[in-house]
Amino acid sequence: MAKKPTRDAHLGNGGELHQQANAEHPPLTTQQGLVISDNQNSLRSHPQGPTLLEDFILREKITHFDHERIPERVVHARGTGAHGFFELTHSLEAYTTAQVLTEVGVKTPVFSRISTVAGGSGSSDTPRDVRGFAIKLYTAQGNWDIVGNNIPVFFIQDAIKFPDLVHAVKMEPDRGFPQAASAHDTFWDFISLTPEAMHMVMWIMSDRTLARSLRMIEGFGVHSFRLINADGHPTFVKFHWRPKLGMQSTVWDETVKIAGADPDFHRRELFEVLGAGEVAEWEFAVQLFTQAEADKFPFNHLDATKLIPEELVPLQVIGRLVLDRWPDNFFAETEQVAFCPSHLVPGIDFSNDPLLQGRLFSYLDTQLSRLGSANFTQLPINAPKCPFAHQQRDGHMQMTQPAGRVAYEPNTLSADAPRADRAKGFASVALDEGGERGRVRAASFADHYSQARQFWISQSEPEQAHLASALVFELSKVEHPHVREAMVAHLLVIDEALGQRVADGLGMDKLPAPATPAQPVMDLPPSAALSIIDNAKDTLEGRCVAILVDDGSDGAAVAALKKAVEAAGARVKIVAPKVGGVTLANGKKLAADGQLAGTPSVLFDAVALVLSDAAGKALSREAAAVDFVRDAFGHLKAVAADAGAQAVLKAAGIQADAGVLGADDADAFVAAACTRQWAREPSVRTLA
């Protein structure tokens, strides 16, 4: 058991509190190991006098503090990290020599960082944004970083456009806002001039960008990579991570409110569940295909604005990723971790995707300015866990002390100097790259609308309504009418009805002429994998349910609900008007996990209210309680309420439906809580 810290202290002359070292608490020292006698008072010339420059202890402490911050990531600044492992379940030996993909059952340690893209490191967890999904696998053959996103396609086809894209989405340079939001003129101006972004626009306006939990998103390597087998034969591969808990999103109004109620919503949840011994788990799957197969695709797989439909190349599940340990120190690990798509292992190689090719340069370069030294690889979170040896030397913050006089290769002066190894070493795939050089885009990259249309028609009805409404929301924040019109012109090409719906939502008097596609738009078949709702798991596992109680609540009803919810794999939080808890009708005290005003229902997947008649009456005049129910209902959640709580439901104007239940049938409540009440949506909001 952890030792309890002692609180012993004495007061100094000025009434300040001093704690002193003792048998349990070692002495506090400077960075040089000098024991500090007084950590409360700086060195003064006399009690009323100025502080002396001589105070090297003060100066060391303040100087270090002044330099605590490093530049945040230029994109993906806000992220949450966790440790875990990758375990291979099916060997890809026929395709690759990479041990991490051939040694079944081996657990490879990993560090993952899931991030938003546009906001600064202090922004909230829940803007409408792509999520970065970066995994560092510390394999026996060196570190392999899969630096992907939760969306399988990207905005642009060529790396040279990336700084423009990011400048467009970030805070506008003259005003310094909006933070972490694409709903502004510069973003949509750029996008409206970038037809290749239209497929990605469909994804970011869909519920994919409104993640319920970091454990409920997919991950994609996005680009094609190559696997190389023992004969040197290449096979193309796409990487996929599929969440064990299924995918789930929030609804937009809920998302907006979560940002206010808990800006750390995703980070806190992962912290809490890992601390409670739960894990976050994904299946690892690959799509494998040959050049000959790729030649028959109706698109170019080297174009990162395209995905390969699962119907065309099925996913093969070959392993799992488990995150099970929160980092010890956020800065040392989550902030200092340096992912680079160029970190790979023998048996894996890049493709010629022009976006990937640019990334191979960018990430190493950005680490140099962010972490300040070419020795960032020596930080514990970045160092390989396999043996490594090289002749790279010196530089800022060199942490190693290589012995001997040899720091070059070849040499004859060192008996054990490292040497290249042709058999085991990394080999780039042999390719004939003949052709004319030039600043060109392949003609096979020119179809920008077919897969956007495919995504749209693959969405369920509620998802289509959300997507169209998201476009209306975003474009309503755009001040320039010509930008709105240009976007509607693209949407009309994707799907006429979509363009019309958005134009209506924007109150446009006249439809603009549709944009002119460079190539005829194909009618691709819908792909079942693209909808979240159609693929939702009927489960409460990994979710969180609130029970609102007050003095006089029925303890047996609370216990029965809690038992049923926990049996379904979800967590329960007790919400009460005071955090100290309540006295139940049976006289027992029940502690609260959250205070009503600070713990709104947006933080939960379903809510139950167990209230005495008197408490129900009192809370029906309490805005926080009424909003608690109104929001849960408006966000399509199951609501269970006993007789006493009916007064609150009435005050919230709740019309009973299949998702509004009594509090006496815990199993029925759990069954209803497993899914959102989509049928309710048209009765609570008008969507585009």
Instruction: Check residue 75 for interaction with ligand HDE (CB under 6 A).
Output: yes
Instruction: Check residue 135 for interaction with ligand HDE (CB under 6 A).
Output: no
- For 540: left if phi > 0, alpha if psi spans -120 to 50, otherwise beta; the answer is alpha
Whole-Å CA distances, 217 to 147, 279, 307, 598, 624: 15, 14, 17, 27, 30
Closest CA to 537 of 89, 152, 215: 215
Instruction: Check residue 302 for interaction with ligand HDE (CB under 6 A).
Output: no
Determine whether 149 is an active site residue. Answer: yes
State phi, psi for 335 to the nearest 5 degrees: -80, -40
Instruction: Check residue 297 for interaction with ligand HDE (CB under 6 A).
Output: no
Q: How many residues are present in the chain?
A: 688
Of the two residues 80 and 601, which places its CB atom closer to ligand HDE in the complex? 80
Q: Which stretch binds ligand HDE (CB under 6 A): 52-60, 67-75, 459-467, 481-489?
A: 67-75
Q: Which residue is nearest to ligand HDE (CB)?
A: 132
**What minimum distance in Å lies between the beta carbon of 109 and ligand HDE?**
17
For the segment 554-613, give every residue that binds ligand HDE (CB under 6 A).
Answer: none
What is the token pair recorded at 250?
A: 């929030």
Euclidean distance between CA atoms 578 and 326, whole angstroms: 30
Euclidean distance between CA atoms 106 and 429, whole angstroms: 26
**What minimum distance in Å lies between the beta carbon of 441 and ligand HDE?**
14
Q: Which of 76, 83, 266, 466 is catalytic?
A: 76
**What minimum distance in Å lies between the beta carbon of 362 and ligand HDE?**
4
Strand (E) or helix (H) holding 317: strand 316-325
For the segment 197-236, give every residue that binds ligand HDE (CB under 6 A).
Answer: 222
CA angle 399, 78, 172 (to 5 degrees): 120
According to DSSP, the β-strands at 639-641 and 660-661 are parallel
Q: Outline where DSSP puts E strands in 411-496.
A: none
Whole-Å CA distances, 9 to 4, 17, 337: 15, 6, 39
Crossing angle of the two packed helices 162-169 and 354-371, in degrees rounded to 10: 60
**What minimum distance in Å lies between the beta carbon of 357 and ligand HDE?**
8
Determine whether 482 is an active site residue. Answer: no
- Interface residue with ligand HDE among 78, 113, 170, 466 (CB under 6 A) is 113
**What minimum distance in Å lies between the beta carbon of 73 and ligand HDE?**
4
Q: Which of 143, 149, 300, 375 is catalytic?
A: 149
CB contact at 8 A, 198 and 208: no
**What minimum distance in Å lies between the beta carbon of 654 and ligand HDE?**
41
Instruction: Check residue 132 for interaction with ligand HDE (CB under 6 A).
Output: yes
- Interface residue with ligand HDE among 99, 121, 342, 362 (CB under 6 A) is 362
Instruction: Check residue 355 for interaction with ligand HDE (CB under 6 A).
Output: yes
Question: How many other β-carbons are positioned within 10 Å of the β-carbon of residue 54?
Answer: 10
Instruction: Check residue 358 for interaction with ligand HDE (CB under 6 A).
Output: yes
Instruction: Check residue 83 for interaction with ligand HDE (CB under 6 A).
Output: no
**What minimum distance in Å lies between the beta carbon of 307 and ligand HDE?**
12
Of the two residues 219 and 234, which places its CB atom closer to ligand HDE in the complex? 219
CB contact at 8 A, 220 and 133: yes
For the segment 663-682, give every residue that binds ligand HDE (CB under 6 A).
Answer: none
CB contact at 8 A, 155 and 197: yes
Euclidean distance between CA atoms 567 and 560, whole angstroms: 11
Crossing angle of the two packed helices 461-476 and 198-205, in degrees rounded to 10: 100
**What minimum distance in Å lies between the beta carbon of 179 and ligand HDE?**
17
DSSP 8-class letter at 333: I
Instruction: Check residue 162 for interaction with ligand HDE (CB under 6 A).
Output: yes
Q: Which stretch binds ligand HDE (CB under 6 A): 142-150, 181-189, 599-607, 628-636?
A: 142-150
Instruction: Check residue 282 for interaction with ligand HDE (CB under 6 A).
Output: no
Instruction: Check residue 115 for interaction with ligand HDE (CB under 6 A).
Output: yes
Return residues touching ligand HDE (CB under 6 A).
73-76, 79, 113, 115, 132, 134, 147-149, 154, 159, 162, 222, 304, 339, 355, 358-359, 362-363, 366
Residues assigned a catalytic role: 76, 149
